[in-house]
Amino acid sequence: MSGPATARRGTAKGGQAVGRAAGAGKRTGRVGRRPGSSDTRARILGAARVSFGERGLEATTIRDVARRAEVDPALVHHYFGSKQQLFVAAMELPVDFGTVVPGLLEGPRDELGERFVRFLLDLWETPAMRPLILGIIRSATTDPVAAGMLRQDLADGPLLALARAIDRPDAPLRAALAGSQLVGLMMARYVVGVEPLASAPRETIVQTIGPTIQRYLTGDLGPFRPATGSRTP
């Protein structure tokens, strides 16, 4: 039979087909992970910094990073290999300490400790740097690679360079002592949140911790013998 009824049925069927096609197109745009693209690597690194900063290396998983980056976990492995390799790539501090140290040495020698603490607080409290610092400090107690990165970013890096530049004896010991103080500060202020240290004004920290770092770098350390690890009688 032909006529208006047939035309109406044809129109209805056509409309349904078009509707189904349109709906399928919309669903396709929402299902699945984002494909690899030019910004995939950067997106994975950003997600990894957040995960490592919040949970540390041990508790973070590749699947968690992939979920945050909205990619398939296979893409994380494709770009970075293992979780530890991803950690090294994501947690590398974008700071050239070789150019920082000469600037810290400028000014009165007896204010060096305060200048260094102020520089570190500026670094640690920069929003882009905070996840990196937290990720390294949270992970250093359980992972040797993270521990090595922490040493390189403090005692074996800028602190040792400062101690050698001011030409005081026992430079490695001085750098290690100052580094231990600053690691404790990072842990208490940023990770554990020990009050009132965690909420103390930055300049209060500078004025109180700075003299201790100053003594470690330039002061008298007493009769300690770093070669033997013992004190003289």
Task: Assign residue 69 the CATH number of its domain.
Answer: 1.10.10.60
Q: Are residues 195 and 147 in the same domain?
A: yes
- Give the amino acid at 228: T
Q: Are residues 143 and 185 in the same domain?
A: yes
Residue 212 lies in a domain: yes
Q: Give the start-end residues of each E strand in the chain.
A: 224-225, 230-231
Q: Are residues 108 and 210 in the same domain?
A: yes
Check whether 4 has a pLDDT greater than 50: no
| Res. 227 pLDDT band, cuts 50 70 90 | low
Residue 78 lies in a domain: yes
Backbone φ and ψ for 169, nearest 5 degrees, come out as -70, 160
| Res. 223 pLDDT band, cuts 50 70 90 | confident
Task: Residue 56: give the domain boundaries.
Answer: 40-90
Domain boundary among 27, 60, 90: 90
pLDDT, tens only, 193-216:
999 999 999 999 999 999 999 999
| CATH for 167 | 1.10.357.10
Q: Are residues 102 and 201 in the same domain?
A: yes
pLDDT, tens only, 19-74:
444 444 443 333 344 444 559 999 999 999 999 999 999 999 999 999 999 999 99
pLDDT, tens only, 120-143:
999 999 998 989 999 999 999 889
Q: Are residues 143 and 103 in the same domain?
A: yes
Q: Are residues 107 and 50 in the same domain?
A: no
Give the model's pLDDT for residue 169.
Answer: 84
Residue 207 lies in a domain: yes
Residue 182 lies in a domain: yes
Strand partners, 230: 225
pLDDT, tens only, 103-116:
999 999 999 999 99
Number of CB atoms found within 10 A of residue 228's CB: 8
Q: Contact, 87 vs 81, CB < 8 A?
A: no
| Res. 225 pLDDT band, cuts 50 70 90 | low
Contacts of 54 (CB under 8 A, 6+ apart): 131, 134
Residue 31 lies in a domain: no
Q: What is the dihedral of CA 117, 123, 125, 126, to 10 degrees?
A: 160
pLDDT, tens only, 144-181:
999 999 998 999 999 999 999 998 889 999 999 999 99
**Structural domain total, the chain:** 2
Q: Are residues 85 and 105 in the same domain?
A: no
Residue 28 lies in a domain: no
| Res. 94 pLDDT band, cuts 50 70 90 | confident
Q: Are residues 52 and 74 in the same domain?
A: yes
Give, in order, the Cα–Cα distances in Å from 168 to each of 103, 108, 205.
19, 16, 25
| Res. 226 pLDDT band, cuts 50 70 90 | low
In angstroms, rounded to a whole number, what is the distance separating the alpha carbons of residues 211 and 139? 29
Residue 35 lies in a domain: no
What single string gives the DSSP state of each residue in 181-193? HHHHHHIIIIII-
In angstroms, rounded to a whole number, what is the distance separating the alpha carbons of residues 14 and 202? 69
